[in-house]
Chain A
Amino acid sequence: MAAEGKAPSLAEEYSLPSQEVQLQNPSEEKSAVSTVAEVVPEKSVETAPANEATVAVEETSQTPEVKEPSDEPEAEESSAAEESGEAAEESSDAAEEAADEKPEIKIETAPADFRFPTTNQTRHCFTRYIEYHRCVAAKGEGAPECEKFAKYYRSLCPSEWIERWNEQRENGTFPGPL
């Protein structure tokens, strides 16, 4: 909390390790407090659920490559998209090999767009979705330069919206200009 020397607030008092503060009724509180200290770190491990055996193997063999977003100028985008495509292939491979290898995680997402400088990003998502499908219509299915738009709209759009739009495109009722 704010000042070191201050008397601890109520919540701090409850959460302090037992040796730091003498509580009013130590017998009950101490047990609770020490369990807190033990439980909490375990909790954070549990939240990242993992097959323990695989983790042990992986920690020695391979750690996922973490790339800072600041390292990548925008010019690299297309190559980045290809790389992440490879990463995704790796992930499906890994699933087949019973999780022998971790998929490589690339920290990147749709960039900020000067066309959509507001809090409301609905159009941003919609536009990226349309851009992707126009790109595919122009360059053919699976064109590598379209992949980045796919990544963008997947990052930006809620999956329910994508599902609904995909359905609408199949039925020919999609409201956007395709």
Chain B
Amino acid sequence: CRFLTIALCDAAEPWQLGSQDAATPMMQGIIDLHHDIFFFLILILVFVSRMLVRALWHFNEQTNPIPQRIVHGTTIEIIRTIFPSVIPLFIAIPSFALLYSMDGVLVDPAITIKAIGHQWRASTQPYEYSDYNSSDEQSLTFDSYTIPEDDPELGQSRLLEVDNRVVVPAKTHLRMIVTPADVPHSWAVPSSGVKCDAVPGRSNLTSISVQREGVYYGQCSEICGTNHAFTPIVVEAVTLKDYADWVSNQLILQTN
């Protein structure tokens, strides 16, 4: 992003065709993989359309009234069987490498954040930061409500802004635990390359490491019902020190 003061660089923009700017190595990997594969896709597209157009052009009733009597050609059949099956193999190598590196389950995280999908608390996404608890009852919990359609401030995106953002430290390994309280939801932040399904009775893990400070926008990406589908998710990445300040402020606020 060119202008650091503008927050909305990591939200979707009108008529956007490509991905949002990468904020994590994962998303960078996804974008790179997409571009790499697309290079070969274009090659194949050009090659196949050339064959198709050429065949239609040369072998029709006007130019070639007598049909060819060829029924098979061993060499070409072998080539056109082997070659297309090798291409997916070559696509699979970087794809699987990326897939397994995205798991990252066995890397020690620094912070655990729990995102809990709630449908019946309208348009909200509760978050829990429980690394700093000293008992079961006390917990740093807050709800992230959508700013209603009729009162966004100037510069805020309609139905994409929330009152309490998820504050995370940048350049830190985060563990997101995603679980719903009712129906399936899905916690997704495109510029982090994360989309994690929230399945009732199960807690799913996804790890992110945001590489730059900023505000990242996403939405609940499951058709989970009235009042929650498309509920915005806003992640605000700050420095580690600011994060610690924020947590201690939140703890003071919640204990009072």
List the interface of chain A (C-beta within 8 A of B): 1-2, 4, 9-12, 15-17, 32, 35-37, 39-41, 43-44, 47-51, 54-55, 63-66, 68-69, 84-85, 87-89, 91-92, 94-95, 99, 102-112, 114, 116-122, 125, 151, 154-160, 162-163, 166
The residue on B at minimum CB distance from A10 is B14
Contact between B112 and A32 (Cβ–Cβ < 8 Å)?
Answer: no
Q: Which residues of A contact B101 (CB under 8 A)?
A: none
Does A11 lie within 8 Å of B177, measured CB to CB? no
Sample (21) of A-B pairs whose CB atoms are under 8 Å apart: A10-B15, A12-B2, A35-B155, A39-B153, A64-B244, A69-B108, A69-B110, A69-B173, A84-B134, A85-B134, A89-B134, A91-B134, A91-B251, A102-B252, A107-B169, A120-B205, A125-B203, A154-B136, A155-B112, A156-B177, A166-B136
Of A36, A88, A158, which one neighbours B6 at CB under 8 angstroms? A36
How many Å lie between the Cα of A66 and that of B15 in the bound state?
42
- For residue A140, give the distance in angstroms from its CB to the closest CB of chain B: 18
Query: Is B222 interfacial (CB-CB < 8 Å)?
Result: no
- How many B residues touch the partner, as a band? 35 or more
**Given known A-B contacts A103-B251, A159-B141, A163-B136, A40 and B131 have beta carbons under 8 A apart:** no
Known: A91-B255, A162-B136, A166-B136. A112 touches B105 (CB 8 A): yes
Q: Say yes or no for B60: interface residue by CB 8 A criterion.
A: no
Chain B residue at smallest Cβ distance from A147: B134
Q: B9–A15 contact, CB under 8 A? A: yes
- Quick one: which of B176-218 are within 8 Å of A by CB? 177, 179, 181, 196, 201-206, 215
In the complex where A47-B165, A158-B128 touch, is A122 in contact with B203 (Cβ < 8 A)?
Answer: yes
Given contacts A15-B8, A48-B249, A158-B114, 6 further A-B pairs with CB under 8 A are A1-B2, A39-B156, A48-B242, A51-B252, A64-B241, A151-B131
User: Beyond A36-B6, A91-B251, A120-B204, is A110–B112 a contact (Cβ under 8 Å)?
Assistant: yes
> Once the chains are docked, how many angstroms separate the CA of A107 from the CA of B205?
19
Q: How far is the CA of A66 from the CA of B245 in the complex (A)?
A: 9
A40, B136: Cβ atoms under 8 Å? no
